[in-house]
Amino acid sequence: MTLTYSPRNRGRTSPGAAVLAVALVALGAGAARAISDVPGSSDHPLFKRMPFAYIVDYAQHDPGEYHLVTGPLPADDAALPDAEGAKSLAGTVTRIQYSIAAMTTAADVFYMYDYLVKSSRFETLVETKGAATRAPGGSVWLAKVFASLDEDARKGLVESVAPSQRRFYAGRLDRPEGALYVVFVINQHTDREVRMQLDVIETK
């Protein structure tokens, strides 16, 4: 089953949908690939990209380990295990960072993915907008939690021309084969570019 994103579909999508594929219009899909993705990368099969987006950072590990943090850091120099709600997840870990053209705003990107996860009955673990520096989605928090990303990808989340608009979401969907977690950060990196980090953890 494919979930098609359209404002006209609001309230019509089956609430039990667990497959989160976005059907892109031909123009958007073509434009998204006008600039090449990093070699060896691909969209996650459950979460398709926004129009005019391309992949700038990608990793997949199976088996893999993911450190999920859903609470604030107690101090700027705190270690991740000291954060509230920190736990380790094991399974297939897919990490994708997209660069999205300036014709799309951070709010546009958040609206689409927020609609998809909530219409598919993900349990929201944490959701923030313009968070304080040590809170989930804040600049210090992001620099610490996403420290394993390469420098450009990390800066894409931390450095912002509109930090008050930066969004962070973490959610969980229970499935018979194991819980599915999704984490995303959406940041207006420059006036001309939105960055989105999408982490998908499929536990077993």
> In a 3-state reduction of DSSP, which class is residue 95?
strand
pLDDT value for 1: 27
> In a 3-state reduction of DSSP, which class is residue 30?
helix
- Cα 166 from Cα 163, distance rounded (Å): 5
- Cα 117 from Cα 167, distance rounded (Å): 14
Residue type, 183: V
pLDDT value for 172: 97
pLDDT value for 92: 98
Confidence band for 29, pLDDT divided at 50, 70 and 90? very low
Token pair recorded at residue 85:
């709600």
For residue 63, whether the previous peptide bond is cis, meaning omega lies within 30 degrees of 0, is yes
Token pair recorded at residue 170:
């973490």
What proportion of the chain, given as a percentage, has pLDDT over 90? Answer: 71
Q: Does residue 37 have a pLDDT over 60?
A: yes
Average pLDDT over residues 126-139: 97
The answer to whether the CB of 75 falls within 8 A of the CB of 183 is: no
Check residues 105 and 92 and name the one with the higher pLDDT: 92
Q: Return the domain boundaries, the chain.
A: 7-203
Q: How many CA atoms lie within 13 A of 118 on its CB side?
A: 12
Residue type, 146: F
The answer to whether the CB of 140 falls within 8 A of the CB of 73 is: yes
Q: Does residue 152 have a pLDDT over 50?
A: yes
pTM, to two decimals? 0.84
Strand blocks (E) in the chain: 53-68, 87-101, 123-129, 167-173, 180-190, 193-203
Summarize pLDDT for 54-85 with one digit per residue, the tens. Answer: 999 999 999 999 999 999 999 999 888 788 88
Residue type, 13: T
- Cα 41 from Cα 96, distance rounded (Å): 8
Q: What is the mean pLDDT of the chain?
A: 85
Confidence band for 35, pLDDT divided at 50, 70 and 90? confident
